[in-house]
Amino acid sequence: MRCVALAEELTARGIGVHFLSDLGGLEWAERQLTSRGLPWYPAPYDAVGLVAAADRLGLDAVVVDSYVLPPAHSAALRASGRAVLAIVDGDVRGQEADVYVDQNLDAELLTPDLPPGAVRLAGLGCALLRRAVRDLRPPAPPMPGPADKPRVVAFFGGTDAYRAAPVAARLLIATGVPFSATIVAATDDLRAELLASEPADGQRLDIIAPTDELPRLLSTADLVISASGTSTWELLCLGRAAALVWVVDNQILGYDRTTARGLAAGLGHLPALREFPSEAIDRLRELLSSPGSRAELAARAWAAVDGQGCSRVAEALLGAVHARNAVRPGR
C-alpha cells in the first residue's frame, strides 16, 4: 500500500508507473492496482529478469519494497544506469539505492551506512499515505465523539493471518460498556467466528468484509483498534484515537515508540491478549468511557503526521532520476 500511495503521487504528476509484484493471489491487492489503472506484471525471478523487465518497460527508476528481495537485484538495477529507491524499515538489508525511505517514527535518529551520494529520507515526515487517507485529513484535531456510545472500527489488514479481529471483539465486549463497533472480517471463517460473538446490552457489532471504504469509516471513528503496522501512520494523519496490538515481531519497534510517545494506546502482544487480557480490557474501558482521553490521543496523533510524505519522497526520487539521466547515454 505504501507503493500504491507513491504511485498515486507520481501518476498525478504525469509519470507512468508499473508494478512488478507478487500479490499473493489476493483479489483485494489486485484491485488496489486495477482500480487506479496501474498495470502490473509477475515479479521477475532473478536480477537478470528484473533488468530485462526494466528494459522492456522503459523504466527510468525502480522502487524496491521487499523483506525478501536479494540485494543483487537492486545492485543490478543501479548498474544498468537506473535510479533505485529502497523503502526500508530500519535495516537497509544490504539494498543498493540512490534514495532510502524509512517512514518509521524516530527513524531519523538512526545512521545506517549508505552508498556514496545516497539520500535518506527518514521519519514520519516521509510517511507514504494513500490519497484516500490524505483527502480525509481534518484541518484541525477532531473533537471528541459521544460519551454514551462511541463509534469503534477494528481492522487487521487484508488477510488478518493471525486472527486478531475476534480477539479485539472479545476485549471490547469484556469492557461491559456501550459501544457501536464495525469490525473487518478478512475471511469467511473469521466472519463466522465474529458473528458468534455475544455483545452485552448497549453494545453493537457490525461485521463487514474488507472494503475500499475503510478510510472513510476510520475518519468517523471515535476509537480505532488495529495492528501496529504501516496503517498506524494513516490513523495518525486522520487524527484518530487508536489502540494498537503488536501482532508480529517486526511491529514491536513501531509499537513501543508510538505508544511511548503517547500517539496511540497500547493493548499488548496478540498471544498475550488471548491468555491475559485484563490490562487491555481496562485500557479499552477507559478509552471507551472517556472522551477526554480519546481527544488527547487524537490531538497528538494529528500533529505527528502531516500527510505530505508522498510529495517529499516523489521529489527525492525524481531528483535521483534526473541525476542518473544526466550521465546515462541516450536518456
Q: What is the pLDDT, as a whole number, of residue 243?
A: 98
* Mean per-residue pLDDT, 2-15: 97
The string of pLDDT tens digits covering residues 174-220 is 999 999 999 999 999 999 999 999 999 999 999 999 988 999 999 99
Burial track 96-121 (b if 16+ CB lie within 10 A, e otherwise): bbbbbbbbbbbbeeeeeebeeebbbb
11-15, 43-47, 119-123, 173-177 — which is least confidently predicted? 43-47
Other beta carbons less than 10 A from residue 205's beta carbon: 19
Average pLDDT across the chain, whole number = 94
Confidence of residue 329 (pLDDT cuts 50, 70, 90): low
327 has a pLDDT exceeding 80: no
Q: What is the pLDDT, as a whole number, of residue 106?
A: 93
Q: What is the pLDDT, as a whole number, of residue 330?
A: 55
Q: What is the pLDDT, as a whole number, of residue 328?
A: 61
Which domains are assigned to the chain? 2-129+307-327 (3.40.50.2000), 136-304 (3.40.50.2000)
pLDDT-above-70 percentage for the chain? 98
Which residue, chain included where needed, has cell 523504466?
59
